[in-house]
Structure 1
């Protein structure tokens, strides 16, 4: 590669947009450039890196292996440059887009209070919230596809920084009238014999509950797997199903049902925010974390 002094670093911004959009005109729109200007920049990138970088497949630009190898280091490099050039203080009155990944459990707890305040004090802030599996959230943070992920992450790679937000506990939701009579409370015998509801994105079955039970050589029968926390409590009434989930996600549904502690000890639920360590000095991200913390569950 040429000496750094001879390289136009603006080309890296173009490459970043092309990798993200994989489409010439959309990359040009994202960069507020003309399509011929982006095409010219791509030609210069190809000469500089001695690689075609993209091949046309239909209407898309398919990255070459070399381009894919550059994706992560390019994202990290541009993030570091933006951190250097960004003021120490974030201006919440400016236009800014945040990308967040969270389950509906997390968004239900945080967004109803967070959004009214953001609209009041920072109307230029836009949030895009997506839902992925836990592994996909971590991968998106590592790749720079999202700014922040909110959830429960028992293990994280070293490049990820975690910020504790709050702790919750497990509770069990059931319909006493649909359990074997006479109902004498949630005993261990009833828990092991009953069918259960599992909340898991994309059908994953290795939740903290089941890993904990497996460690103690126990297992439960999963009769229903759902991807959404908000739907799960609604399927309990009129069935013998038991839902074991975060207490705060079940309290609103407990009026006509029984909300009981598990008949054995389960570890607490630690809800955290995670981002890449390269973003730890980012004033915009620090500001967003401060806003999230204001409305944490007590």
Structure 2
């Protein structure tokens, strides 16, 4: 075992590898993040285990789990590397040269709002960045973050577990859409008309706790949902030629608002607006590449909001 207190005997690059391993909990993802080969990362982990006289990361259930000592080291290491990056300044991270993969979790609503502008920015400013996008329920996305299987989750998350952090991207409002031929010349529905119509619901589960239905229950009402589907993008297309009503986030309708066969109107009852956020694990908070990606996503959403306001 090396004397970890004698810095002259320690390759400080190993600490960068350890920081990445504790964040990724996966050898191949760490290799991609650091632009190293997998054998090089495995070799570095072996040296780190000798250095600290501890396994540091133990394979359990198909993933690497930090040991108690690694959990003790993690916050101290994170703070030390953050301070070093501050000393080195912005030259420590260059998006134009970064080669890194990120895993994002979001609904197709998030994909529609974020991905077009984000990909244009990445191709222009950071062509070495690669994205893998998945879709899950809110609960599943939070679990992916906690387990280190995801870098960022974008969506609506009213309650966050400990160790997860969030940044607001936008405040979203609800809107309704119906087929124009079913509206008898009207440009909106009152409450009775709204409740009398069948509805399309967008939800990853049975949808009984959506913001829409909770607002209705607070007024003593329920609506008749005849179609439940998990995809925002296809929902407006189901309205054509029917008496169905769809109530969704306004930005989810942006691509359809020029369709003359549809009528768009405000809900006939108050539904609280909701924050659209990005969420990450605290262990990634000070990672320069991760921070750059979060800031870039925030800029992309802000720009998209300006164009549609």
Of 137, 140, 143, the residue aligned with 2:141 is 137
TM (normalized to structure 1)? 0.75
Of 278, 285, 288, the residue aligned with 1:283 is 288
Secondary structure, counterpart of 1:201 in structure 2: coil
Would the aligned equivalents of 1:173 and 1:257 in 2 still touch at CA under 8 Å?
yes
Distance 2:291 2:63 in 1: 33
Would the aligned equivalents of 1:75 and 1:144 in 2 still touch at CA under 8 Å?
no
| Runs of at least 5 residues in structure 2 that lack an aligned partner in the other structure | none
| Runs of at least 5 residues in structure 1 that lack an aligned partner in the other structure | 56-60
Distance 1:208 1:19 in 2: 35
Of 160, 165, 184, the residue aligned with 2:164 is 160
1:104 aligns with 2:108: yes
Q: How far did residue 84 of structure 1 move? A: 6.1
Would the aligned equivalents of 1:80 and 1:278 in 2 still touch at CA under 8 Å?
no
Of 219-228 and 73-82, the range deviating more from structure 2: 73-82
Distance 1:68 1:197 in 2: 45
Match of 2:119 in 1: 115
Would the aligned equivalents of 1:251 and 1:259 in 2 still touch at CA under 8 Å?
no
Would the aligned equivalents of 2:104 and 2:150 in 1 still touch at CA under 8 Å?
yes
How is 1:13-52 mapped onto 2 (pairs within 5 angstroms)? Answer: 20=26, 32-34=37-39, 41=46
Would the aligned equivalents of 2:22 and 2:66 in 1 still touch at CA under 8 Å?
no
Secondary structure, counterpart of 1:136 in structure 2: helix
Would the aligned equivalents of 1:232 and 1:243 in 2 still touch at CA under 8 Å?
yes
- Structure 1 residues 94, 177: closer, same or farther in 2, change over 3 A? same
1:210 aligns with 2:213: yes
- Structure 1 residues 80, 127: closer, same or farther in 2, change over 3 A? farther
Aligned residues between the structures: 284
CA RMSD, aligned part only? 4.1
How is 1:4-83 mapped onto 2 (pairs within 5 angstroms)? Answer: 20=26, 32-34=37-39, 41=46, 73=71, 83=82
Match of 1:292 in 2: 297
Distance 2:130 2:187 in 1: 50
How is 1:193-204 mapped onto 2 (pairs within 5 angstroms)? Answer: 193-204=196-207
- Structure 1 residues 109, 18: closer, same or farther in 2, change over 3 A? closer
Match of 1:58 in 2: none
Distance 1:27 1:276 in 2: 16
Secondary structure, counterpart of 1:224 in structure 2: strand
Distance 1:263 1:33 in 2: 57
Match of 1:222 in 2: 225
Match of 1:189 in 2: 192
Distance 1:164 1:84 in 2: 26
Of 236, 240, 244, the residue aligned with 1:241 is 244
- Structure 1 residues 270, 15: closer, same or farther in 2, change over 3 A? closer
